[in-house]
Structure 1
Amino acid sequence: MKRLAIVVGCAVLLTACGTTTPEEEKGGAIAVAANDDACDVGRAEADAGTITFEVTNKGSRVTEFYLYAEGDRIMGEVENITPGLTRRLIVEVSEGGEYETACKPGMKGKGIRDAFRVNGQADKQVDSDTKLAEATKSYQRYVNSQCDALLTKTKEFVDAVKGKKVDEAKALFPVTRIYWERIEPVAESFGDIDPKIDGREDVIEEGLEFTGFHRLEKDLWVSGLQADSASMADRLMSDIEDLVNRAKTLELTPLQLANGAKELLDEVATGKITGEEDRYSHTDLWDFRSNVDGSQAAIAALRPVIEERDPDLLSTLDERFAAVDEVLEKQRVGDGFKLYTELTEADIKEMAEVVDALGEPVSQVSEVVAGQ
């Protein structure tokens, strides 16, 4: 998928080569040169507050970049950085301390990590901006409502699996995942729990156990229920309960809302449009719809801020979300959607194009929120 290419000036390129630029000395953007076997971060520290990374993929594989807090809690991430592309990550870090940066060539594993120090303390955006404070509260209410629905539907799905009601479990699978997919950036901020719940079979290559939704998906659609399917269902329920408890107490920043809106569209581009996500059930369009819903919810929470600071951007966002909605509705069947295997190449191309067009303005929201 194409992504917004941020033009990087000579100063940033010099930083990627190991030379500190005047901009960086003043606390400006930190250049990151991501290669297949290296992750060169231009500076290993920054003052608390808003921190900007300019990540250029100089390798041959699609990569990701992360800033981790203690316990692998994700402070910010940028995904789907194709070779030759530069993408920007803006994060708010108000507490000084030890953090880690990571590049993930191939978008797998723990990544190439280095220590990163944040110095001092900074006021939070929400402490001085009432509109941003209300945006985070509004989005937290949305997250809480989705968490409640996720608990309810997961219990129904788990009971159907344990009761060996295969047809019922198959019908509940995409519906249950709606609520997961809408809040996926929140779930992904907990690095330990996301692979347990939503890891595809590829996680085995990373030395992890294949559990969660996709393990049960394979049991239901491919191999048939296994001797341990019931215990896998119980584990899923326990992991969802753990997620919900954490998500309801997570203190989000306005920039996490903005970044999350873009991350959800990246999820569509890297998994749903390709048919890789629900590779056994082919219910990818349910996930597609839910990722877009979640992105819309984050933008809706930030709407008063965007309207005040960049009304033209807001108009573009409204137009392009509407275009995605229109294209998705063509694939609707009753209360659900066509299976991925029923789509034509023209259908997939059309969906990819409207998501690509939406991703460009959504990627600008973090700069508006950061006041850049």
Structure 2
Amino acid sequence: MHVRRLGVMLPASLLLVAGCSSAAVVKPASPGQDSGEGIQISTSHCGQGWTDPHAGPQDLRFTNTDTVSAEAYVVDVPRGAVYGEMEGLAPGVTRSLPITLGSGTYAIKCAVEDNDPIVGPSVHITGSSPGGPALVPVNYNDLYGPAREYQKYVAGGLKTLVAKTATLAADVDRGDLKAAKKSWLPAHLAYERLGAAYGTFGDFDGAIDGRPAGLPGGVHDPDFTGFHRVEYGLWHGESAKSVRSAADRLLKDVKALKADFPNEDLPPEDLPLRAHEILENTLQFELTGKSDEGSGTSLATAEANLEGTRHTLDVLRALLKPRYAALPQTDVQLDRVQSLLDAQNHGGTWTPLQDLSGTDRESIDGAVGDLLERLAPIATTLFPRGSQ
């Protein structure tokens, strides 16, 4: 998973504002000196050197005259909406930022590594040219509430997970593998609905929901554990004794996760990323059949992942409404994917992926792909830009 940090560039497809800096690097300046090459980014001279503020399309040139990496934002005054941003500007380096500015008052906000963000002097622009799109930024405090709400959701989901996994383990322990096949899916889906928290689970995620890919022994490797190990045993004719060991280990790991979760924190800045990543993983693993170890329930897992995505959006909705105009269309697309998946649920028995008609498979893949495109900008839209 790719978490956006200071100095790391997001894919251009995720940038909502005119904030993709040019890759061209101009002659380096000496750190701490005014190179004359561009608007200064530093703790002492933030925003100085903006000598030709004007309306319309333009390339602003920024020079990092500090001694550490920095980010620069073009913001309006006093609202603070971001019209452009540049990331990972190394000391002594000058880069260009394509941007369109309209009539108004603007300033440069400098985020220098290991320092609080500061705002430079204001400049006033007149003219009739319309400005480019702007993004009202969020800060870390804005995301704490949604993160706490999601943690409560996960805590409740873990209780359900333990109960359903205990049922699965009990069925296996008494040798009733037919019943175990029925109880496996509800237990597995209880885990899959917790999508946005998987990064917080650490090693538990691999132990509980890992795949055999990459293990020397494949499905027979002793490090292949969790739901998919139990799935493999149940649908490949293993004995109750063989499956029992995997099921007991799974229940132990699930209980340990529940006990450990109160000590874990979901980083607030990770939540917007998960809105896209959950279904990205679904497209990569569930909708290709890579995660199926015999149960044929990939589409049920996809629906559980969709539910996790929907809940992630719900806790972020108040922040998204004033910032992401495509949110209503995203909700429509969520419902479309839901409808397509529901059509493959026949009273609790799901169509195996390989039994889908070509038309149905293309419809599901296309709808999920379209939904991913609509979800992708959320990571940038809600990326916290400073503490103020």
Q: Which TM-score bucket, shorter chain as reference?
A: 0.5 to 0.7
Aligned to 1:192: 203
Deviation at 1:236, TM superposition (A): 0.6
Aligned to 1:55: none
Q: Which amino acid aligns with 2:87?
A: A
Aligned to 1:26: 70
Counterpart of 2:338 (choices 318, 325, 329) is: 325
Q: Which amino acid aligns with 2:344?
A: Q
Q: Which amino acid aligns with 1:247?
A: F
Partners of 1:328 and 1:351 within 8 A in 2: yes
Counterpart of 1:139 (choices 131, 134, 150) is: 150
- Counterpart Cα distance in 2 of 1:49 and 1:229: 55
Structure 2 counterparts to residues 322-361 of structure 1, below 5 A: 322-361=335-374
Q: More deviation in 21-30 or 248-257?
A: 21-30
Partners of 1:143 and 1:248 within 8 A in 2: no
Aligned to 2:177: 166
Aligned to 2:261: 247
SS in 2 for 1:274: coil
Counterpart of 1:362 (choices 368, 371, 375) is: 375
Counterpart of 1:215 (choices 229, 232, 236) is: 229
Cα deviation per residue 1:42-74 (whole Å; 9 max; x = unaligned)? xxx954899xxxxxxxxxxxxxxxxxxxxxxxx
Deviation at 1:304, TM superposition (A): 0.7
TM-score normalized by the length of structure 2? 0.64
Cα deviation per residue 1:121-156 (whole Å; 9 max; x = unaligned)? xx9712xx3xx3332222122111211110100000
SS in 2 for 1:279: coil
- Counterpart Cα distance in 2 of 1:152 and 1:49: 46
Deviation at 1:229, TM superposition (A): 2.4
- Counterpart Cα distance in 2 of 1:254 and 1:248: 16
Partners of 1:49 and 1:124 within 8 A in 2: no
Deviation at 1:340, TM superposition (A): 2.1
- Counterpart Cα distance in 2 of 1:324 and 1:4: 26
Aligned to 1:278: 292
- Counterpart Cα distance in 2 of 1:49 and 1:194: 35
Partners of 1:272 and 1:284 within 8 A in 2: yes
- Counterpart Cα distance in 2 of 1:334 and 1:284: 16
Aligned to 1:287: 301
Aligned to 1:152: 163
Aligned to 1:261: 275
SS in 1 for 2:292: coil
Partners of 2:172 and 2:247 within 8 A in 1: yes
Deviation at 1:316, TM superposition (A): 2.0
Cα 1:162–1:276 change in 2 (3 A) is: same
- Counterpart Cα distance in 1 of 2:24 and 2:171: 55
- Counterpart Cα distance in 2 of 1:183 and 1:268: 13
Q: More deviation in 326-335 or 153-162?
A: 326-335
Question: Which ranges of structure 2 fall in alignment gaps of 5 or more residues?
Answer: 1-10, 32-61, 72-85, 90-111, 118-137
SS in 2 for 1:204: coil
Cα 1:306–1:341 change in 2 (3 A) is: same
Cα 1:134–1:350 change in 2 (3 A) is: same
Aligned to 2:238: 224
Partners of 2:167 and 2:183 within 8 A in 1: yes
Cα 1:217–1:240 change in 2 (3 A) is: same
Q: Which amino acid aligns with 2:367?
A: V
| Bigger helix share | 1
- Counterpart Cα distance in 1 of 2:338 and 2:294: 25
Partners of 2:334 and 2:371 within 8 A in 1: yes
Deviation at 1:361, TM superposition (A): 1.9
Partners of 1:284 and 1:340 within 8 A in 2: yes
Aligned to 2:213: 202
Cα deviation per residue 1:9-67 (whole Å; 9 max; x = unaligned)? 6744769xxxx995794234349xxxxxxxxxxxxx954899xxxxxxxxxxxxxxxxx
Deviation at 1:204, TM superposition (A): 1.4
Q: Which amino acid aligns with 2:288?
A: T
Q: Which amino acid aligns with 1:343?
A: L
- Counterpart Cα distance in 2 of 1:147 and 1:165: 25
Q: Which amino acid aligns with 1:202?
A: A
Partners of 1:175 and 1:286 within 8 A in 2: no
Q: Which amino acid aligns with 1:274?
A: T
- Counterpart Cα distance in 2 of 1:320 and 1:291: 15
Partners of 2:177 and 2:240 within 8 A in 1: no
SS in 2 for 1:29: strand
Question: Which ranges of structure 1 fall in alignment gaps of 5 or more residues?
Answer: 32-44, 51-122
- Counterpart Cα distance in 2 of 1:296 and 1:139: 12
Q: More deviation in 186-195 or 316-325?
A: 186-195
- Counterpart Cα distance in 2 of 1:124 and 1:313: 21
Partners of 1:4 and 1:359 within 8 A in 2: no
Deviation at 1:4, TM superposition (A): 8.3
- Counterpart Cα distance in 1 of 2:12 and 2:184: 34
% identical aligned pairs: 24
| Structure whose alpha-carbon radius of gyration is higher | 2
